Homo-oligomer: A and B are copies of this chain.
Amino acid sequence: MRQKDESKAQDILRAALDEIQAVGLAGLSIEAVARRAGVATGTVYIYFKGKEALLEALYRQVKLAFADFVLRDDGRPLKATFFRMSKAYMDYVIQHNPEIVFVRQLANSPYMTDASREVSALGARPVTAMLERGKAEQLLKDVDTAWMVTFLSETLKAMADLAAGMPKDQYPAFQETVATLCWDALKA
């Protein structure tokens, strides 16, 4: 009996991501996704129960890939870890524009399910852990961790956007500056 080709599921997710960047979540059609992935519309329904399930799977994949990219707290001195993670975060935003666009658009859409919300918290886990350690070591302010996570995530995201159209040679200095602003904001 013939086997499902799992790389096809990847093709479809990738096609959906690119299509969303092109026409937005509101303008996304399964037909366009299928065409872009080089399969028939019906095939999409073999790999995903429906549009909602497809978007949920995509969200999950994007968020978990992100967590991998930013990497775990490696136990080096907090400030070094903080800077490394902050810079990695900005790198990710710049190198993965379609993913960022998708996540932003899904967040306040009717496709945002509770399951996706859970995955989102999971993706923020490494950042959360690092900030908890900083608070425990009294190197960071005694401020609600959830507030800090939002502060750091949203600030880095917004600033990385700013760097999108910047000459490459200015970027390292920019990155250092932004990480310093964030560090100064949160340090005790």
**Contact residues of A with B, CB < 8 Å?**
23-27, 101, 104-105, 108-112, 141, 143, 146-147, 150-151, 154-155, 158-159, 162, 174, 177-178, 181-182, 184-187
Q: Cβ of A24 and Cβ of B182 under 8 Å apart?
A: no
**Known contacts A105-B26, A105-B105: A151-B181 contact under CB 8 Å:** yes
A177 to B25, CA, bound (A): 35
Contacts of A27 in B (CB 8 A): 109-110
| Interface residue from B109, B143, B146, B158 paired with A158 (Cβ < 8 Å) | B158
| Contacts A104-B108, A151-B181 known; 8 new A-B pairs at CB < 8 A | A24-B112, A25-B26, A101-B108, A105-B109, A143-B177, A150-B159, A154-B155, A158-B158
Q: Cβ of B110 and Cβ of A24 under 8 Å apart?
A: yes
How many copies of the polypeptide does the oligomer hold?
2
A154 to B151, CA, bound (A): 10
A186 to B185, CA, bound (A): 8
Contacts of A184 in B (CB 8 A): 184-185, 187
A182 to B147, CA, bound (A): 13
The 4 closest A-B pairs by CB, nearest first: A154-B158, A185-B185, A24-B109, A27-B110
A158 to B149, CA, bound (A): 11
CB proximity of A161 to chain B, nearest CB, Å: 8
Q: Cβ of B26 and Cβ of A111 under 8 Å apart?
A: yes
Q: 7 pairs across A/B with beta carbons < 8 Å?
A: A24-B26, A26-B111, A105-B108, A147-B159, A150-B159, A154-B158, A184-B185
A186 to B162, CA, bound (A): 17
A25 to B25, CA, bound (A): 9
